[in-house]
Chains A and B, each alone.
Chain A
Amino acid sequence: QVQLVQSGAEVKKPGASVKVSCKASGYTFTSYYMYWVRQAPGQGLEWMGIINPSGGSTTYAQKFQGRVTMTRDTSTSTVYMELSSLRSEDTAVYYCARPYGGNSAGYCDCWGQGTLVTVSS
């Protein structure tokens, strides 16, 4: 079955970077885009960007431009999201999510379990 398994919780100090992984299984990794979405405590869902695992191309939300980098490793069917210059407002659960049907714009039919990133001094 289609599954996205993310790396474990992280605690980081302000100014540091964090790299979260998302390992895909159960489907052809390079045939589907991947989103990263975050959710601050008690808040709504916020789209951070998209990566095409086939060629590695990315598009980031303007809010995160310059601070976020999404990459992939096709040999392990894993996508990564690295966020730098962390501040307390970046404390959130980070999700990878697969848009349906191989489309760049789609609804998410599969989500990772989420990775809590806590930024605290």
Chain B
Amino acid sequence: DIQMTQSPSILSASVGDRVTITCRASQSISRWLAWYQQKPGKAPKVLIYKASSLESGVPSRFSGSGSGTEFTLTISSLQPDDFATYYCQQYSSYSPLTFGGGTKVEIK
């Protein structure tokens, strides 16, 4: 199984901050990586797919980069609506599909 490790698990930041979350895969997944945002009581929402492609409708302050085993999600200027939990997911192999443990972005 491909293990996905996210860091940090909690991130305290202020509105306007630049925020970076890292996701590492236990083996190469090329660019088959997605990032999701999840708010309490809601289903996850995809932000980025194929490591760096922005999902339609997602603000341009979100960006993704990386390939192989190391990936990052960056929020260029944190907005009040961005306080949430973020997950990475590999889809190089669907059996099993695996997610990172999550990063909670909270207000500093």
A-side residues, CB < 8 A to B, are 35, 44-47, 50, 59, 61-62, 95, 97, 99-100, 103-109, 111-114
Interface centre among A35, A95, A107 (most CB of B within 10 A): A107
What is the CA–CA distance of A100 and B101 in the complex, to the nearest angstrom?
A: 22
Point out which of A45, A99, A106 has the most chain B C-beta atoms below 10 A from its C-beta: A45
**Interface SS, A side:** mixed
Question: Hey, which bits of chain B sit against chain A, CB under 8 A?
Answer: 32, 34, 36, 43-46, 49, 55, 87, 89, 91-102
Write out the residue numbers on chain A whose beta carbons fall within 8 Å of the beta carbon of B87. 44-45
Instruction: Tell me the complex Cα distance, A112–B43, Å.
Output: 7
How far is it, in angstroms, between the C-alpha of A113 and the C-alpha of B4 when the chains are bound?
A: 25
A103 to B91, CA, bound (A): 10
Report whether A100 and B49 are in contact in the complex, using a CB–CB cutoff of 8 Å.
yes
Measured CA separation A12–B46 after assembly (Å): 31
Tell me how far the C-beta of B84 lies from the nearest C-beta in chain A, rounded to whole angstroms.
14
In Å, the complex CA distance between A47 and B34 comes to 14
- Given A44-B87, A44-B102, A45-B87, A111:B97 Cβ within 8 A: no
> With a CB–CB cut-off of 8 A, which chain A residues contact B34?
107-108
